[in-house]
Amino acid sequence: MKQKYERPTIRKMNTGLMNKFGTRTDFDPVESIDGVAVKDLVEQYGSPVFVLSEKQIRRNYQAALRSFKTRYPKVQFAWSYKTNYLNAVCKVFHQEGSWAEVVSGFEYHKALGNGVAGHQIIFNGPDKKEADLILAIENHSLIHIDHFDELYLLIQLTERINKTAKVAIRVNFDTGVYPIWDRFGFNYENGQAWTAINKIAKANKMELVGLHCHIGTFMLSTAAYAVAAAKLCQLALKCKNELQNPLQYLDLGGGFPSTNTLKGAYLPGVDTVPSVEDFAEAITNTILEAGFATNELPLLILESGRVLIDDAGYLIGSVLANKRLSDGRRATIFDFGINILFTSNWYDHKISVAKESGQYTEETVLFGPLCMNIDVIRESIMLPLLERGDQVVVHKVGAYNMTQWMQFINMRPAVVLIDQQVKSHLIRKPENLDYLEMMEVVPDYLKT
Amino acid sequence: MKKHLQYYFSATLNSYAILFFSQNRILGVLLLVVSFFNFDAGLSGLISVIGSLLLVNTLGFKKEEIKSGLYSFNSLLLGIGFGTFFSFSFAYWLWLAAACLLCVVLSVNLSSFLGKYALPSLSIPFVLTFWMVLIASNGYLGMGLLQKGSSLIFELNTNPPSHFSQLCLFFEHLNIPANLLLFFRSVSAILFQNSVLAGMIISIGFLIHSRIGFSLLVLGFIASCIINQLTGTYPGGISNYYLGANFMMVSCAIGGFFLIPSWRSYLWAIAVIPFTFLVLNGLSRVLLLYNLPVLSMPFCLVTLGLLYFFMLRKQPGKLKLTPFQYYSPETNLYQFLNGEQRLKDFKYFNLSLPFMGAWTVSQGYEGSITHKGDWQHALDFVLKDLDDKTYQLPGIKPEDYYCFNKPVLAVADGQVEEVIAYIDDNAIGQVNLQQNWGNTIVIKHAENLYSKVSHLKKNSIKVKAGDYVKQGDIIAFCGNSGRSPEPHLHFQVQCTPYIGSKTYPYPFAYFTVAGQSGLKTFEVPQEGTTIERPEINSYLKNAFHFQPGYLANITADNGHTETWEVFTDDFNSTYFFCHENQAVAYFVSNANVFYFTRFYGARNSLLYHFYQAAYKINYSAQPLEDFFAADAENFNLLLWLQDALAPFYRFIQNTYTNSIQIKADGLIVQSKGGRLLLGKDKNWFKAELFLGTKGIQGFALQHQNKHLKVTWETSSV
């Protein structure tokens, strides 16, 4: 076989101290995803293309469920729609038994459209429209109240339509981590939460069924969850003892990190991030010891998103050009940038080449295709020598990218799901001009 | 007052019917009528019964027993015997009263005495009393008791022939085989008569009561006649009294009443005949010395003797004694079979799974790795992932294994018997053969019932010997100590408290198997299956968790209303009681299921329809299948055929299925009853139960052509 041409490279000799982790750089090629060749995927769906592994989604879900269910008798997951609300993805989670957690009217309708029963939809967030609230009340969905104005609105609505709403309040507290997410929900320490609970208890048409918290995102401390669970349990026991209103569930929200490496982190995420097992242990031990009678233990709801899907998502892209910057650094331009890889703002994504390459690597800056200065994927990465047209695979991109991506300069690419039988399915078509202009209206006087 | 009369009426009829081990009213009435064929006997019989009933009731004996006729049927026999044997006079009534008192005293005392051995007193009180009277009156003529005829006790009335006796005479000479005439005469002998007509009427009554019982009467008759034919014991043929009151009765009692009818019990019903011959002949020779008749003593002795003999068996096998007496061989049989199938809650201690979540049985009973010999009835559990792996990569430390450090639970309430907690967890692939079981807990749940979990994590045990634990308590964490190359949980049940005791096969009460629908009840999980605790639907549990004092007002769309209340009886069984029509429906409700066990009362009551609709409910909301016990509701030739064949072969099955539809704010239980006849399913009823947050809201039932809609309102007492 003819060997691949590799351009010459010059590297500075480094004679100082050895890197404490050795000289190893991770550039094992990723030639296939879940058994489907990268080359074939690009051929079939173009480049760039998002690829999701159904098997990995299910594996993640089942592992997380196992971590909790083997430690606590009643556990329910609710899929966080905002993390990835492609219908195919949601349906995989619902098939596994997950409820839906939505934070807006359109997500609520999406959940209904995906066949989720009304009483298995959790309605979160600070922005719930009146019509959506009425629909949620009528469907017996679980409405998690975020602020007093929403509480007052709900009281009015329930009186007006003469139906009982099943509600919980979102509680925020100091769990010892910074920042405190006190902009969502009612504060625990200053008594706001208890006030809200009392207002609900006094309302005629409100049934307080649970408590909710969501202490942060990409949380790296399990202790914070133990604190949150303990405070939530105290509040729940107070509801039972003082208001004779035993609660059906505690919703600990999400926020579990994936194994991506945060920007600026010293050590890679795979080595430092606590596992779901660790979070499960912290949370369940706290609830089990909080003082509930064995047969009155509340249902534990979790709204994990990121940890269940991040590592099931891949982004395949291609090299557009190689460059040398004015300061001598190498730069590589890809056909994907922060327009579709939003999370490159947060993480130092792991990027692998898609075919076997030589042993030499060089340090390079990775740019996206936008004509915007901010379009940087990695500030610095060691990669084998790439040529125009070579493919790379970006790892752990399943969470948030397919919801926060934007159509700017370039259009959004296709999304492909590889099923458990190693077959790929197009689950979102690449966008085109028609799609882009679908919602546009040109006034008549400009038409000619 | 009306209730009072009803009570005495039932007690009187039962006193008659119980002569044939029955509580059937038709049979009771027929027997009452037939007893008056000999007017004197019938009258003194009835008077004795009523007198005895008044006596025991006034003295405050247990109402249930009185009502069943248990204390008064011996007086009935005594009265009939008196009337048959002695002529009316002042002294007659005096001594009858005295004898009745003696008979009642003996009945009560003997029932209690024999009751301790779970034995019935049968007609022993009557026999003893009557012997006493005969001995006394033979010795002291001054007592004034005049014997009627000669030594022949049971002759027919010698009064001038009336229309009635002409009728009787007609039947005496009916043109049917002599054996058949003898059969009927023998049946009538139980009431000290010798009348074909009486026998025929009683036979019809008995047939209405029980097909199995009647077939056994016939069987006993034939067997006795054949044996007599072969041996020639009684050259003139067996007397009808011996036949009726002893041989046929023994067959009936052994073959169908005190044993669950089966081909085995039928064999015993035949085998017992020569045995009875021996006892009867021996006894009559001895009694001849005192000029006494044997009466039904041989029947009593043989029946009691055999019963006690059967009771003493250590391993009863398939010849079963009747566990609960329903006074009908059919009901006994059907309830027994149904109970074997359904009522495992009463048979086994309720063990739940020793873990949370879905674990896979990596080695089952008689497993090929280590579950062998004395330790073959054990289970090993691990956690597996989607790829069937028990660990996450790299899998070189115990911590990499999913099951490591997962909570282990107590399978039932009990006291911790022994704990070992200090043994190190092995490195993966190593085993500790010196401390084979590793860290272990043994819990005592009942006498001779212990559970043991092994290979626990070092120092993870939360209990110590002597502690009481509740079902579901976390007692330790799964580890890798002892003979365990990779983390797993070993579970076994044993009869002795030692670590290393041999295993005893025992099922888990309720669990679900991944990939299989339905709830597994009292089964041992199979190797390779992934099992989990049933997930309880709170709507269902909340709705069906009826506590004593629960009160429901039920209104049907046809205006019919009933009030049901939940009570607990002496044996801690819970039941619904309908205040309007006294219907009773027994039920069981535990952590996992609700089910009815038995219904007594009117078949058109709303309670009966609820019993049908909610015959069994899984709180975990899986669809289920169950069986109703066959029931003699009303006359139906097919059902009668089934009854007659039931001890050998059953071709009709009453099925029950339900499935649950979950709604946004409640759920609907859709149930269906069917009659499975030779593989063909016939619709019996269809029902829907509506449940909301506050419990049952109502139900709808379609039964034959009847459509019923019922609303349900709840309150507590």
Q: Which domains does chain A have, with CATH numbers?
A: 32-52+311-430 (2.40.37.10), 54-309 (3.20.20.10)
Phi, psi of B383 (to 5 degrees): -105, 135
Residue B670 Cα, gap to closest chain A Cα (Å): 20
Judgement on whether residues B519 and B617 belong to the same structural domain of the protein: no
Structure-token match 């066959």, residue found: B630
Query: Scanning every residue of chain B, which has its alpha carbon at the shortest distance from the alpha carbon of A140?
Result: B664
Contact A69, B357 (CB under 8 A): yes
Query: Scanning every residue of chain A, which has its alpha carbon at the shortest distance from the alpha carbon of B536?
Result: A74
Contact A9, A357 (CB under 8 A): no
Is residue A272 classed as helix, strand or coil in its secondary structure?
helix
Among residues of chain A, what percentage have pLDDT more than 70? Answer: 97
Residue B402 Cα, gap to closest chain A Cα (Å): 8
Contact A216, A170 (CB under 8 A): no
Residues present in chain A in total: 448
The pLDDT-based confidence of A418 (bands split at 50, 70, 90) is: very high
Flag if B355 and A70 touch (Cβ within 8 Å). yes
Between residues B591 and B442, which one has the greater pLDDT? B442
Is residue B662 classed as helix, strand or coil in its secondary structure?
strand
Structure tokens at B230: 């072969």
Judgement on whether residues B662 and B676 belong to the same structural domain of the protein: yes
Residues of A in contact with B402 (CB under 8 A): 66, 70
Residue A140 Cα, gap to closest chain B Cα (Å): 6
Tell me the C-alpha distance between A46 and B217, whole Å: 90
From start to end of B6-97, where are the E strands? none
Q: Is the pLDDT at B151 greater than 70, yes or no? A: no
Model pLDDT, residue B150: 44
Judgement on whether residues B20 and B91 belong to the same structural domain of the protein: yes
- Categorise residue B473: left if φ over 0, alpha if ψ from -120 to 50, beta otherwise: beta
B8 is a domain residue:
yes
Contact B297, B234 (CB under 8 A): no
Model pLDDT, residue A417: 97
Residues of B in contact with A74 (CB under 8 A): 535
Model pLDDT, residue B155: 42
Tell me the C-alpha distance between A310 and A308, whole Å: 6
Flag if A119 and B664 touch (Cβ within 8 Å). yes
Structural domain harbouring B407:
359-532
Judgement on whether residues B521 and B549 belong to the same structural domain of the protein: no
The pLDDT-based confidence of B154 (bands split at 50, 70, 90) is: very low
Judgement on whether residues B450 and B592 belong to the same structural domain of the protein: no
Beta strands A99-102; A75-80: pairing state: parallel
Displacement of CA B441 from its chain's centroid (Å): 37
Judgement on whether residues B561 and B523 belong to the same structural domain of the protein: no
Q: For B34-64, how does the pLDDT look when each residue is reduced to its tens digit (9 = 90+)? A: 999 888 889 999 999 999 999 999 999 988 8
pTM for the full predicted model: 0.83
Judgement on whether residues B616 and B508 belong to the same structural domain of the protein: no
Q: Which of the listed residues B532, B564, B596 is the one where a domain comes to its end?
A: B532
CATH of the domain at B89: 1.10.3430.10
Is residue B287 classed as helix, strand or coil in its secondary structure?
helix
- How would DSSP label each residue in B195-242? -HHHHHHHHHHHHHH-HHHHHHHHHHHHHHHHHHHHH-SSTT---HHI
Structure-token match 């009185």, residue found: B66
Instruction: List the single best residue of B403, B530, B619, B665 to mutate versus A (max A Cβ within 10 A).
Output: B665
The pLDDT-based confidence of B88 (bands split at 50, 70, 90) is: confident
Among A58, A72, A248, the residue with its CB nearest the CB of B356 is: A72
Nearest in space to B547 (alpha carbons), one of B524, B576, B516: B576
Q: Which of the listed residues B151, B184, B214 is the one where a domain comes to its end?
A: B151
Say which amino acid occupies B596: F
A205 touches chain B (CB under 8 A): no
Judgement on whether residues B7 and B142 belong to the same structural domain of the protein: yes
Q: What is the ipTM of this complex?
A: 0.88
A69 touches chain B (CB under 8 A): yes
A329-343, B154-168, B198-212, B687-701: which range is least confident on average?
Answer: B154-168
Among B356, B357, B664, the residue with its CB nearest the CB of A140 is: B664
CATH of the domain at B372: 2.70.70.10
Average pLDDT on A131-141 reads 95
Flag if A70 and B356 touch (Cβ within 8 Å). yes
What's the N-to-C CA distance of chain A in angstroms?
59
Q: For A221-240, how does the pLDDT look when each residue is reduced to its tens digit (9 = 90+)? A: 999 999 999 999 999 999 99
Q: For B613-649, how does the pLDDT look when each residue is reduced to its tens digit (9 = 90+)? A: 999 999 988 888 888 887 766 667 888 888 888 888 8
Across the A/B interface, how many CB contacts are shorter than 8 Å? 48
Tell me the C-alpha distance between A51 and A49, whole Å: 6
Judgement on whether residues B463 and B515 belong to the same structural domain of the protein: yes
Among residues of chain B, what percentage have pLDDT more than 90? Answer: 55
B106 is a domain residue:
yes
Residue B537 Cα, gap to closest chain A Cα (Å): 11
B683 is a domain residue:
yes
Model pLDDT, residue A286: 96
Flag if A294 and B407 touch (Cβ within 8 Å). no
B226 is a domain residue:
no
The pLDDT-based confidence of B716 (bands split at 50, 70, 90) is: low
Q: For B100-125, how does the pLDDT look when each residue is reduced to its tens digit (9 = 90+)? A: 999 999 999 999 999 998 899 999 99
Structure tokens at B651: 């071709």
Judgement on whether residues B365 and B498 belong to the same structural domain of the protein: yes
Q: For B561-606, how does the pLDDT look when each residue is reduced to its tens digit (9 = 90+)? A: 999 999 998 888 999 999 988 899 999 998 889 999 989 888 888 9
B705 is a domain residue:
yes
A119 touches chain B (CB under 8 A): yes
Model pLDDT, residue A19: 66
Judgement on whether residues B499 and B632 belong to the same structural domain of the protein: no
Q: For B269-282, how does the pLDDT look when each residue is reduced to its tens digit (9 = 90+)? A: 999 999 999 999 99
Domain count, chain B: 3
Judgement on whether residues B21 and B51 belong to the same structural domain of the protein: yes
Structure-token match 């022994």, residue found: B418
Which of A:285-344 have CB within 8 Å of B?
288, 294
Query: Scanning every residue of chain A, which has its alpha carbon at the shortest distance from the alpha carbon of B591?
Result: A295
Say which amino acid occupies B73: F
B435 is a domain residue:
yes
Between residues A282 and B174, which one has the greater pLDDT? A282
Which H/E stretch holds residue B611?
helix B606-613
From start to end of A42-105, where are the E strands? 49-53, 75-80, 99-102
Contact B279, B299 (CB under 8 A): no
Tell me the C-alpha distance between B689 and B698, whole Å: 6
Q: Which of the listed residues B93, B122, B151 is the one where a domain comes to its end?
A: B151
Flag if B356 and A71 touch (Cβ within 8 Å). yes
Model pLDDT, residue A24: 58
B425 is a domain residue:
yes
Tell me the C-alpha distance between B717 and A358, whole Å: 85
